[in-house]
């Protein structure tokens, strides 16, 4: 039987579902269309897969469309993505033209059906050009850290973004000077999805066996697309330092995303760097490996998300929910999830990561304490039910701009 809203009562806590139903009644019958750039791979697809059915259950006509694009387009938008995160990238007029042409193509091909249209991230941001003809409410939902963007890209995207009715950012640091309403909505994980639900120990053990991981020795794990911002090479450096003191193993599990053309190159770097060490397991997992990823995280002694740039980093909440101690790069939304020393440790370098990993491997009670705190932090702040509520509140805020709707309890 498909998961229903009521099923979240137990994990999310009493009152949450009732509150959602009350809010749902206020928006029932409205249509909410989400548009992004990939149906699998990466955090946005992960969230929409679970969010859209729940919004429907609340009575909204929620739908989800994915824009089309070829390799050239996604190379351009990956460069945009990097530049918005502050990495120097050469942006040429040709690249801007590719973006414009792809936007035109999607404007022709897509059906815009929402009363409210949520456009996720920069790739489809240009679709707002349709607003002039058809009206409706348009929301730009930005998942990335645009606090210090490269000017060439931000100045190119800004005229599009200014046409939206509102922009949503994951944390206050990402907000921009814009002449549109801005809301803060943090991403979330679905506690009942295959990625996060409780698993039988037998299954967890079978996954370790499949990948030849020794259950008798500590396991360090990072789950991420093979992306330089996720710093898998830095994770290997940290592991090598820890390895001098502990006979640990490292799992780097990742897959690709159809809108990320850099993945193969980074994977090759990681494979070269880890060659010859049987205790490093580089696992290239196909899409929909959620149960296996869940098992790998549950089997881990320490989970790492050593990003050097990050939008939010859902993998952090996914691990905290499983009561794992998490070491994360002190960037972007990881700082929302890891309260340093309370729900995990924030680090700034491979050496820093190695120190904290060593400390955790030597102290089981510390691991348990951080894990327990992390679980409660996610329960209070980063579960899907909270994000459903925030999106419904956004719809209400757009409909009643002069009423004071309190966003984000």
Closest to 319 in 3D by CA, of 270, 373, 281: 373
Q: Which x/- pattern over 269-288 shows residues binding ligand UDP (rule: CB under 6 A)?
A: ----------------x---
Looking at 20, 32, 42, 259, which residue binds ligand UDP (CB under 6 A)? Answer: 42
Does residue 223 interact with ligand UDP by CB under 6 A?
A: yes
Among 36, 106, 196, 224, binds ligand UDP (CB under 6 A): 224
Question: Taking CB under 6 A as the rule, does residue 235 contact ligand UDP?
Answer: no
230 contact partners, CB below 8 Å, separation of at least 6: 222, 224, 254, 305, 306, 307
**Could you tell me which stretch among 5-13, 93-101, 253-261, 270-278 binds ligand UDP (CB under 6 A)?**
253-261
3-state secondary structure of 337: helix
- Cα separation, 51 vs 94, in Å, equals 36
Is 313 a binding residue for ligand UDP by CB under 6 A? The answer is: yes
List the one residue from 16, 23, 32, 46 that touches ligand UDP (CB under 6 A). 46
User: Per rule CB under 6 A, is residue 314 in the interface with ligand UDP?
Assistant: yes
- Residue 139 CB, nearest distance to ligand UDP (Å)? 19
Q: Nearer Cβ to ligand UDP, position 114 or 311?
A: 311
Selected range binding ligand UDP among 88-96, 157-165, 220-228, 319-327, rule: CB under 6 A: 220-228
Burial code (b: 16+ CB inside 10 Å, e: under 16) for 213-246 equals beeeebbbbbbbbbbbbbbbbbbbbbbbebbeeb
Q: Does residue 65 interact with ligand UDP by CB under 6 A?
A: no
Cβ proximity to ligand UDP: between 38 and 102 the closer is 38
Q: Shortest approach of ligand UDP to residue 405 CB, angstroms? A: 27
- Cα–Cα distance between 284 and 254 in angstroms, integer? 5
Cα(105)–Cα(100) distance, integer angstroms: 9
CB of 346 to ligand UDP, least distance (A): 16
Handedness of CA 44, 45, 46, 52 (dihedral sign): positive
Q: Does 38 bind ligand UDP (CB under 6 A)?
A: no
Residues sharing a CB contact under 8 Å with residue 308, sequence separation 6 or more, in sequence order: 228, 229, 231, 234, 329, 331
Contact 48, 133 (CB under 8 A): no
DSSP-assigned letters across all residues of 154-185: HHHHHHHHTTSSEEEESSGGG----SSEEEE-
Binding residues with ligand UDP: total (CB under 6 A): 18
Q: Decide: is 24 part of the binding site for ligand UDP (CB under 6 A).
A: no
Which of 124, 126, 232, 255: binder of ligand UDP (CB under 6 A)? 255
Question: Which sign, positive or negative, has the C-alpha torsion 154, 142, 145, 223?
Answer: negative
Among 44, 60, 1, CA closest to 192: 1
| Residue nearer to ligand UDP on the CB measure, 36 or 301 | 36
190 contributes a contact to ligand UDP by CB under 6 A: no
Q: Which residues pair with 138 in a beta bridge?
A: 117
Q: Is 5 in the site for ligand UDP (CB under 6 A)?
A: no
Nearer to ligand UDP, 195 or 389 (CB): 195
**Which residues lie near ligand UDP (CB under 6 A)?**
42-43, 46, 195, 223-225, 253-255, 285, 293, 311-315, 318
């Amino acid at each position: 039987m498909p998961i229903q809203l009521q099923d979240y009562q137990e994990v999310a806590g009493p009152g949450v579902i009732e509150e959602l139903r009350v809010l749902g009644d206020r928006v029932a019958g409205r249509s909410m269309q989400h548009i992004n750039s990939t149906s699998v791979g990466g955090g946005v697809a992960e969230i929409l897969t679970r969010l859209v059915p729940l919004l429907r259950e609340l009575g909204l006509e929620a739908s989800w469309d994915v824009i089309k694009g070829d390799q050239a387009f996604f190379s351009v938008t990956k460069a945009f993505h990097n530049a918005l995160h502050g990495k120097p990238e050469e942006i040429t007029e040709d690249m801007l033209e590719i973006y414009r042409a792809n936007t035109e193509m999607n404007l022709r091909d897509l059906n815009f059906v929402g009363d409210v249209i949520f456009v996720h991230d920069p790739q489809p941001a240009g679709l707002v050009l349709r607003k002039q003809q058809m009206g409706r409410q348009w929301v730009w939902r930005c998942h990335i850290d645009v606090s210090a963007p490269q000017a060439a890209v931000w100045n190119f995207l800004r005229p599009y973004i200014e046409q939206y009715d509102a922009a949503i950012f994951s944390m206050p640091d990402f907000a921009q000077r814009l002449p549109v309403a801005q809301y803060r909505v943090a991403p979330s994980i679905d506690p009942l999805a295959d990625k996060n639900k409780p698993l039988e120990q037998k299954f967890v053990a079978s996954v370790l066996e499949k990948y030849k991981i020794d259950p008798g020795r500590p396991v360090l794990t990072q789950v991420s697309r093979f992306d330089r911002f996720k710093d898998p090479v830095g994770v290997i450096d940290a592991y090598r330092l820890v390895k001098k003191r502990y006979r640990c193993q490292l799992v780097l599990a990742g897959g690709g995303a159809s809108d990320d053309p850099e993945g193969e190159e980074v994977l090759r770097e990681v494979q070269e760097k880890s060659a010859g060490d049987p205790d490093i397991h580089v696992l290239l997992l196909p899409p929909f490996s959620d149960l296996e990823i869940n098992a790998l995280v549950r089997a881990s002694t320490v989970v790492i998300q050593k990003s050097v740039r990050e939008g939010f980093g859902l993998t952090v909440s996914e691990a905290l929910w499983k009561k794992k101690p998490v070491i994360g790069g002190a960037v972007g939304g990881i700082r929302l999830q890891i309260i340093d020393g309370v729900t995990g440790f924030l680090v700034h370098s491979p050496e820093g990561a190695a120190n904290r990993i060593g400390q955790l491997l030597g102290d089981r009670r510390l691991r348990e304490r951080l894990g327990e705190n992390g679980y409660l932090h996610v329960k209070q702040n980063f579960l899907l039910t909270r994000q459903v509520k925030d999106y419904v509140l956004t719809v209400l805020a757009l409909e009643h701009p002069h009423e004071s709707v309190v966003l984000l309890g």
